[in-house]
Structure 1
Amino acid sequence: MACRISEIVIDAHDPERLAKFWADVLGYVEIAREPDGIEIGPPGTGFGGPQPTLVFDIGDRAEVSRVKLPLHLDVSATDRDQEAELRRLLELGARHADIGQTGEESWYVLQDPEGNEFCLLRKRIDPVP
């Protein structure tokens, strides 16, 4: 028996704003709300489904650290090409991030509204049923 990632917890200055951004990016819906955070996940499955849920949590700290995390998310479009998905992500509030790319990469490095880096990969993948 193996483990499976069920949730990814992300500390946020504004959990509401990040939950909305990532729900729009991933096609997720709000599945739980607590006083200090919001959980989003795939519609109809939620926690325990084939994809992990995302929890945006202000936690017990007054201020979330701005130290670069040793982890980031990669996303791939499921129903459009990379350029169309890039336009959609930018319209949702993502912005380009410069981490020293050469311009020859097959992916885009972006930041969510709080500056967390993520990459938009070129290859389109099938949606999870």
Structure 2
Amino acid sequence: MACRISELVLDCADPDRLAAFWSEVLGYVELEREADGSIAIGPPGAGFGGPQPVLVLSPGSDPRPGKLPLHLDVNATDRDQDAELERLLALGARPADVGQTGAESWHVLADPEGNVFCLLRSRLQPL
């Protein structure tokens, strides 16, 4: 038996803002709000335990030693990479420089709080 990713947790200063951003990027909906200010978003009609992981935006501002450096990779499902890049930039993403050469097949972006993610070239089938 293997494990499967059920949630990705992202510490952020403004969970509402990032929940709105990532919901638009991924086509997710708000699933739950916790008393601590965390917001869980996920695929409509599936939620926790579904085929895609839930994203939890958790309030926090202090990096912790030993925290896993993690970023998200996304792929367009209904348009090409250039069109998806335009959509993500219109939503508030911005280009980010992490030392790429310019020859990469992906775009490195930052969400509204500066969290880096990548838009990959290949187009995936929607679930």
TM-score by length of 2: 0.93
Instruction: Report the Cα distance in structure 1 between the residues aligned to 2:3 and 2:21, rounded to whole angstroms.
Output: 28
Question: By how many angstroms is 1:24 displaced?
Answer: 0.2
Aligned to 1:5: 5
Instruction: Report the Cα distance in structure 2 between the residues aligned to 1:75 and 1:69, rounded to whole angstroms.
Output: 19
RMSD, aligned α-carbons: 1.7
- Structure 1 segments, 4+ long, off by >2 Å, are 63-69
Q: Which SS does the other structure have where 2:90 is aligned?
A: helix
Instruction: Report the Cα distance in structure 2 between the residues aligned to 1:69 and 1:26, rounded to whole angstroms.
Output: 22
- Structure 1: unaligned runs, 5 residues or longer: none
Q: Which SS does the other structure have where 1:19 is aligned?
A: helix
Aligned to 2:99: 100
Aligned to 2:62: 64
1:31/1:40 contact within 8 Å kept = yes
Instruction: Report the Cα distance in structure 2 between the residues aligned to 1:106 and 1:7, rounded to whole angstroms.
Output: 27
Counterpart code for 2:51: P
1:58/1:64 contact within 8 Å kept = no
Question: By how many angstroms is 1:64 displaced?
Answer: 3.4
Q: 1:58 to 1:99 in 2, by over 3 A?
A: same
- Structure 2: unaligned runs, 5 residues or longer: none
1:16/1:38 contact within 8 Å kept = yes
Q: Which SS does the other structure have where 1:25 is aligned?
A: helix
Q: How many aligned residue pairs are there?
A: 125
